[in-house]
Structure 1
Amino acid sequence: MAASRGGYRTSRSSTTPGPTSAPGAIRPAAPGGAAVGLLRAAHGGPTLAVTTLVVVLAVGRDVGWGTALMLAGAVFAGQLTIGWVNDLVDLRRDREVGRTDKPLATGELPVAAVRTALALAAASAVGLSLALGWRSALVHLVLVVGSGQAYNLCLKATAWSWLPYAVAFGTLPAVVTLAGADPVWPEPWLMLAAGTLGVAAHFLNVLPDLADDAATGVRGLPHRIGGTASRVAATTLLVTASLAALLGRDGAPETWGWLLLVLVLGLAALSLRGRGRTPFRAAVAIALLDVVLVAAG
């Protein structure tokens, strides 16, 4: 479940739309055609990031290149469905607030095209997941993709907005380990690190735009507890993920691990006590380090 779906984010320019960005305005197709528009509507960056994380985990677990490629295809297709459902559900609201960064909202991308692509991606996600074995398929389709769709359809504007991120990210490593020749559940530390990283990503994603999101009627957990508490929560979760990834492995951490932990704690201090954009940037830096640690699991 891609991190950019942590909240309903409004573009900074949407509050003062110009002639071509007024709510409901139809714009010509963006450069690159329908494929680029579809990828943008699916939140392409986070979708690719989650897929890459799974591939790195698969290579690290030595599941074989054939299985790794099927994992990449299944997860990529599943993430596409989450992104497209997200934008379809938010379409009316996106148009009302003049979202200029959403191809569906601007009219660059026809709704019918997204619905067709969604159906194809869903079929691909199911087919490729089943090819990985029923255990991996069940975790991927129900716990990962299912959590993402639950967020889109009913949990995003509730105090439980964090839960889909915890479940989806926490069980993502299991999609890989259960697809191997000897299906096993991943180590608890890896699931804990991935799950806390996912919830932190939810807080981080909405942190810059809490006021804008609240104005559109979205009141997930970060909006309910406020910006300061959300920043503390995100930082605490990120440090927890770092500790789980470093200390949960067999044996004592190597020197590089301790140095990395010192760096994480320094960034955490900046995240909690810095000013301006510094706290957000420091937290994002910790998140990137945590992704590396989880991928190395």
Structure 2
Amino acid sequence: MVVQRARRRTARGLLRACHPGPTLAVTVFTALLAWSAGHTLASGMLVTAAVLAGQLSIGWSNDLVDVRRDRAVGRPDKPVAAGEVSESAVRAACGTAVLACVVLSFACGWRAALVHLLLGVASGWAYNLWLKRSVLSPLPYAVAFAALPAVVTLALPSPAWPPAWVLVTGALLGVGAHLLNVLPDLADDEATGVRGLPHRLGTRVVRWLAPAVLLAGSVVAAYGPGGGSLDATGLALLLGCVGLAVVAVVARGRLPFVAAVLIALANVVSLVLRS
């Protein structure tokens, strides 16, 4: 019984340490993009699994890199810093995720693998290790989110790059998500020496800038597929994104980031419905 409880505790800690919200969101987006692109069930599951493994490695490595900072500011939402799961267990899980990510990515084809590993996963790790403390902190998000639809289309039997407007939409969503994701933690980050672009801009600027960037992505997603025209579905989704952007401006805590995820989901749905 003691061993079973310890295992369950470790499993819960690993789940919380992987940043389950963003990890689940990116995985769902990948599945929707795979369906939209015309993947079979098997190939769609394969590319989704590859992205999931990469996201798990990024989430776990983030908590490992930040463990001392999180302990210094007493972050109760960080299971490694709070002692809910050991660093060795997270390190082992992270290594397993990296290995699985490499194997699954190359199973999707070498083109998709190189884009996923060198642009998607490497960007996430670069953010965790270095860029989150620099003025270039949004760059890994822009690159990784732009690369995601390319991973999906390059994993098709006839590999192809997605249209430019899709890449631009992904990049804008990535930057907006980054700005809103760090918003609740600006004070704690500043106290431990983390000064990315949002920290330099300040809370007030970020609270307005992030929704504006997300809405720019929504406009590109709405108008891009039609080459300048907007149908009823696109208009409805765009208006919904405007409402969510308002929530991102006025809400506090994690609600702005939830609004960002919903805006991203609306744009993916727009892509799926209009593909």
Q: TM-score, normalised by structure 2?
A: 0.89
Pair 122,211 (structure 1): closer, same or farther in 2 beyond 3 Å: same
Equivalent residue, structure 2, for 1:99: 75
Equivalent residue, structure 2, for 1:136: 112
Pair 223,35 (structure 1): closer, same or farther in 2 beyond 3 Å: same
User: Quick check: 258-267 or 215-224, which moved more?
Assistant: 258-267
Letter of the 1:37 partner, please give it: G
Question: Does the 8 Å contact 2:16/2:79 carry over to 1?
Answer: yes
Q: In the TM superposition, what is the alpha-carbon distance from 1:49 to its structure 2 partner?
A: 1.1
Equivalent residue, structure 1, for 2:161: 185
Equivalent residue, structure 1, for 2:216: 240
Q: Is 1:75 aligned to residue 39 of structure 2? A: no
Equivalent residue, structure 1, for 2:237: 260
Pair 190,240 (structure 1): closer, same or farther in 2 beyond 3 Å: same
Give the Cα separation in 2 of the matches to 1:53 and 1:230. 25
Letter of the 2:10 partner, please give it: A
Q: Report which structure shows greater RCO (CA 8 Å, sep ≥6).
A: 1
Q: Is 1:290 aligned to residue 256 of structure 2? A: no
**Secondary structure class of the residue paired with 2:133:** coil
Equivalent residue, structure 2, for 1:194: 170
Pair 238,192 (structure 1): closer, same or farther in 2 beyond 3 Å: same
Question: 1:72-101: per-residue Cα shift (whole Å, max 9, x none)?
Answer: 211111111111111111111222222222
Q: In the TM superposition, what is the alpha-carbon distance from 1:35 to its structure 2 partner?
A: 1.8
Letter of the 1:87 partner, please give it: D
Q: Which runs of 5+ in 2 are unaligned?
A: none
Q: In the TM superposition, what is the alpha-carbon distance from 1:214 to its structure 2 partner?
A: 1.2
Letter of the 1:135 partner, please give it: R
**Secondary structure class of the residue paired with 2:76:** coil
User: Quick check: 29-38 or 116-125, which moved more?
Assistant: 29-38
**Secondary structure class of the residue paired with 1:106:** coil
Equivalent residue, structure 1, for 2:60: 84
Pair 235,88 (structure 1): closer, same or farther in 2 beyond 3 Å: same
Equivalent residue, structure 2, for 1:116: 92
Give the Cα separation in 2 of the matches to 1:280 and 1:266. 17
**What percentage of residue pairs aligned between the two structures are identical?**
50
Letter of the 2:232 partner, please give it: T
Q: In the TM superposition, what is the alpha-carbon distance from 1:33 to its structure 2 partner?
A: 2.6
Pair 113,279 (structure 1): closer, same or farther in 2 beyond 3 Å: closer
Considering only aligned residues, what root-mean-square deviation do their CA atoms show, in Å? 2.2
Match of 1:207 among 150, 158, 183: 183
Q: In the TM superposition, what is the alpha-carbon distance from 1:113 to its structure 2 partner?
A: 1.1
Q: In the TM superposition, what is the alpha-carbon distance from 1:30 to its structure 2 partner?
A: 8.0
Match of 1:127 among 71, 95, 103: 103
Question: 1:139-178: per-residue Cα shift (whole Å, max 9, x none)?
Answer: 0001000000000111011101000000000111001000
Question: 1:260-286: per-residue Cα shift (whole Å, max 9, x none)?
Answer: 3334345546655x5xx3798578536
How many residues align? The count is 266
Give the Cα separation in 2 of the matches to 1:104 and 1:82. 15
